[in-house]
Amino acid sequence: MKLLMRWTLALGVLTILSCNKDQQKDSEVAFDSVVGQFADIKVLRYQIPGFEDLTLKEQKLVYYLTQAGLEGRDIMWAQNYRHNLVIRKALESVYQQYQGDRNTERWLAFDTYLKRVWFSNGIHHHYSNAKIMPEFTQDYLVQLLKDTETELSGEALDVIFNDLDAKKVDLSKDADIVLSSAINMYGPEVTTADVESFYGQVEVDADEPIEIGLNTRLVKENGVLTEQVYKSGGLYGDAIDRIIFWLEKAYGVAENQNQQNALKLLITYYQTGDLVTWDEYSVAWVKATEGNIDWINGFIEVYNDPKGYKGSFEAIVQIKDFDMSQKMSVLSDQAQWFEDNSPLMVSHKKKEVKGVSYKTVIVAGEAGDASPSTPIGVNLPNNNWIRQAHGSKSVSLGNIINAYNNAGGSGRLQEFAHDQEEIVLEETYGQLADKLHTALHEVVGHASGQINPGVGTPKETLKSYKSTIEEGRADLFGLYYLMDPKLQELGLVTDWEATGKAAYDGYIRNGLLTQLIRLNLGDDVEESHMRNRQWVSAWVFERGASDGVIERVERDGKTFYDVKDYQKLRSLFGELLRETQRITSEGDYQAAKDLVEHYGVKVDQAVHAQVLERNKQFKSAPYSGFINPILVPEFDQQQEITGFSIKQMATFEEQMLYYSETYGNL
């Protein structure tokens, strides 16, 4: 499970958490995090501090794991939409071969469109899921194809411009959410009823159920539903063979036996596609907590599947940040206290929170669903029985968060905050509040609660609402404790109340106002995290209206939200947390649907129009993502690796073309 970046991170230095803050600031100022900007995207870069302190063997492990991730890049493109790869190759051919004027309005529109497609790993927006519509005509593209002797025709050409496959993931309540979603995890003729019927007949171990359908594409062959398995010799086999090649090299330089055990099982899983092996790997991976290097690799998050079965390919390679991990591990140590003192019903609390491992890490490379748009925190594995029996790993991506913070402010805080007090709180405590919310969300939020005996998994019971309910539940757990003196007692904050106020102000401001800049006027909220931020915020606003907990303020034609009573707001967060855990524990589909559809989907159009108008003054894009540093091996005369250098590519397009040439496996 991943936590996405709250778009409005304030600038400042987390003095409480940094013992070398002055040296850190000097280093960060010297490094330019911003690569460029186009459309609604800002492209950033990040550093890999500490890589030079690793042993050569450890550096090799990082390199091999990074290569394994990049070899699967094309899988994510193919999963996102069935025509993505042929479209990308054609657009890249035009971009590289075109000899005409590159300063015309039409060419610049083509240039921007290609960059947007690169960023989203396909022709659908990475966040809104809506198809990206080009600002040039089909006739112009046909002429470019002709001029560069590039082939693109038929449905793959027409779909760029027509109304077909308009949403990568369509969660509209009245839609056939599988048939109307363009995501390529199902054949184009497969319906929601087909999926429910097919997987409803799969028998699994009630105590240790596998994640059915996680690594397959469900299609109709001669009218019969069948699964195409992602494995060596199967679907995406050419890319998977390259992943295996690098994982085998990583196995040879693993830091310890537990890492070797996990890597061996991961290799076997890719060779066979067997989901029992995937669970065995996940258990072994959870146990591999020692060492300086860790990784995420596989078909993991199910947000891109409207039915919540199919995992998207994802890879993140991590180096332990020793200082920050030591400071934040206190949350892991106190996980049982948070569970015991939460407002959940007693029957829904875990009697023993298993092994929640939390680290702040330095990202060394990302691929697939994690790149270019990246999470800032991850908690895995997702299989509930493994989490309950063996625990989980939670990580905060420290250098990614630093790069976001160092990219500069935009003034949106001053525009959308209610008053100067709110601005000062955000500027002083906002970064710390965000960092703690990430940790609480991942470590105690996702690890908390239990499902009642005999109740199915959330993807079976809550169906299309599973992801947003789970993310909202974890958010609420974090919000409840962000206004708790326990955080100061644990040494994590110097002023628990001020930190909590900054967190509550920022969450309400984002959930009801600022995240709307990511939507086109008239759109519903589709993305699971955006939905959960809106339904959480809208529910507490409505529920607290009679007590004046949050006041909606109209001033000079602008809407603001002013939190009047933070302790009552905390109580409301706790009440809603209790209810979302009940929904999850009891598998109450109707309650989940009512909560999300009533509070999380529809947008006040007058407020939305106003927010978009207010946002026009800001040039900073609402979305950010990253190019990755390139690890370049150095060899001796025997072609043995003797060391590495780190290359930062100058432009986004340079990296995208390099990736297509180097890792174009499908």
Residue 296 lies in a domain: yes
Do residues 445 and 357 both lie within one domain? Answer: yes
- Residue 411's CB is within 10 A of a number of other CB atoms, namely 11
Collect all residues with Cβ–Cβ distance below 8 Å to 153 and sequence separation of at least 6.
Answer: none
Which of the four pLDDT bands, split at 50, 70 and 90, describes residue 124? very high
Do residues 61 and 110 both lie within one domain? Answer: no
Do residues 158 and 265 both lie within one domain? Answer: no
Residue 643 lies in a domain: no
CA triplet 106, 110, 114: central angle to 5 degrees? 170
Res 5 pLDDT > 50:
no
Collect all residues with Cβ–Cβ distance below 8 Å to 363 and sequence separation of at least 6.
Answer: 46, 48, 316, 317, 318, 319, 374, 397, 399, 400
As a whole number of angstroms, the distance between CA 311 and CA 215 comes to: 6
| Interval 242-267 mean pLDDT | 98
Residue 647 lies in a domain: no
pLDDT of residue 345: 97
Long-range contacts for 112-115 (Cβ within 8 Å, ≥24 apart)? 112/38, 112/39, 114/653, 115/38, 115/39, 115/41, 115/652, 115/653, 115/656
Res 147 pLDDT > 80:
yes
Do residues 460 and 568 both lie within one domain? Answer: yes
Do residues 163 and 251 both lie within one domain? Answer: no
Residue 266 lies in a domain: yes
Say which DSSP state 443 is in: I
What range does the domain containing 539 cover? 2-9+48-73+235-624
Do residues 68 and 96 both lie within one domain? Answer: no
Residue 201 lies in a domain: no
Do residues 114 and 62 both lie within one domain? Answer: no
Encode pLDDT of 369-406 as tens digits: 999 999 988 889 999 899 989 999 988 888 888 887 76
As a whole number of angstroms, the distance between CA 226 and CA 236 comes to: 16
Encode pLDDT of 258-304 as tens digits: 999 999 999 999 999 999 999 999 999 999 999 999 999 999 999 99
pLDDT of residue 332: 86
Do residues 148 and 253 both lie within one domain? Answer: no
Give me the number of domains the chain comprises.
2
Residue 443 lies in a domain: yes
Residue 154 lies in a domain: yes
Do residues 587 and 490 both lie within one domain? Answer: yes
pLDDT of residue 159: 98
Do residues 491 and 527 both lie within one domain? Answer: yes
Res 17 pLDDT > 70:
no
Q: Domain boundary at 607, 624, 641, which?
A: 624
**DSSP state letters, 172-196:** -TTS-TTTT---TTB-TT--HHHHH
Q: Domain boundary at 145, 167, 189, which?
A: 167
pLDDT of residue 232: 98
Do residues 270 and 141 both lie within one domain? Answer: no
Do residues 396 and 511 both lie within one domain? Answer: yes
Q: What CATH number does residue 525 fall under?
A: 3.30.540.30
Say which DSSP state 104 is in: S
Which of the four pLDDT bands, split at 50, 70 and 90, describes residue 93? very high
Quote the tokens at residue 534: 């809106």
Percent of the chain clearing pLDDT 90 (strictly above): 81
Residue 493 lies in a domain: yes
| Interval 11-35 mean pLDDT | 43
Strand-pair category, 2-3 with 550-555: unpaired
Q: Domain boundary at 132, 167, 202, which?
A: 167
pLDDT of residue 4: 53
